[in-house]
Structure 1
Amino acid sequence: MKRTTRAFAAGMLFATTILAIVHYTNDKQYTTISEQQYEQIVAERNELAEKLEKQKKEIEKTTPSQKEKVYIYTLTIAKGEASRDVANRLEQAHIIDDAQSFLTYLDTHQLTRALRPGTYVVTSDMSYEQITKKITK
């Protein structure tokens, strides 16, 4: 117990010494600004933020986003086909963003082996839940 306390105290002393050395050898001069200067800086920052927000809105209006584009895919599941293959095809068709997260969803809801053979029309605006309701038992 004494050894631990001594080690802790030595560490505190060492850290304090290092901080003191850094503090007193630092050549930076700290300046204070007046309240008027501070308000001017804040006003400039707010003005820049508003300009950036306007530019962002203009860009969003002129460029179509990926989410606006809805992909439609006819999915055919063969008897005995692995859920991994189905997930990979859905990802390649841009119906889902990530095959692994879809597989995790199937695993979590114990639907990995519940895929029904057949042909289904799925779209990219469907949730994982909607897709799985359509393709499982």
Structure 2
Amino acid sequence: MKRTTRAFAAGMLFATTTLAIVHYITDEQRQNDAISQKQYEQLITERNELAEKLEKLKKETKKETKKETKKETYIYTLTIAKGEASRDIARRLEQAHIIDNAQSFLTYLDTHHLTRALRPGTYVVTSDMSYEQIARNITK
């Protein structure tokens, strides 16, 4: 009988110890989760505030840029001779202020496989045209 009582007491002690450990670990995780949740919410709030400030700055900068830079539009009559190299055409467009960079225009033509599609003729191009529009115009 003593043996049975001791075994029962040992079982109870083991079960109580196991439950206490599980409770302690679970409680600690809940506290960490609560702290993490608060930190997460704080980070989200800060991120939203920063995003709003960035949007305001973008809008202000855009308005100032529009006010400060009124870009002149250049008009150029481009004459392409038969067999003329695309780099010469790009250089002339750059000198006429139609494009900002001859090399980037050549890269555009090369990327879109238009280098050999240039057609001889006379074309009117303007500085407010995109590379695509210029290329479409001179490759017809």
Instruction: Please state which band the TM-score falls in when normalised by the shorter chain.
Output: 0.5 to 0.7
TM-score by length of 1: 0.54
Q: Which of 65, 75, 78 is the matching residue for 2:77?
A: 75
Report the equivalent of 2:61. Answer: 59
- Contact 2:80–2:89 (8 Å) recurs in 1: no
Report the equivalent of 1:89. Answer: 92
Cα RMSD over matched residues? 3.4
TM-score by length of 2: 0.53
The number of residues matched between the two structures is: 103
CA distance in 2: counterparts of 1:71 and 1:91, whole angstroms: 13
CA distance in 2: counterparts of 1:89 and 1:96, whole angstroms: 9
Given the superposition, is the C-alpha separation of residues 98 and 65 from structure 1 closer, same or farther in structure 2, using an over 3 Å criterion? Answer: farther
Structure 1 stretches of 4+ moved >6 Å: 65-68
CA distance in 2: counterparts of 1:102 and 1:88, whole angstroms: 9
- Contact 1:72–1:121 (8 Å) recurs in 2: no
Structure 2 unaligned runs (5+)?
A: 1-31
Structure with the larger helix share: 2
Kindly provide the amino acid, as one letter, of the partner of residue 117 in structure 2. Answer: L
CA distance in 1: counterparts of 2:80 and 2:36, whole angstroms: 74
Residue 94 of structure 1 aligns to a residue in which SS? Answer: coil
Deviations 1:55-96 (A, max 9, x none): 111111112289973522323436454332111121233323
Residue 75 of structure 2 aligns to a residue in which SS? Answer: strand
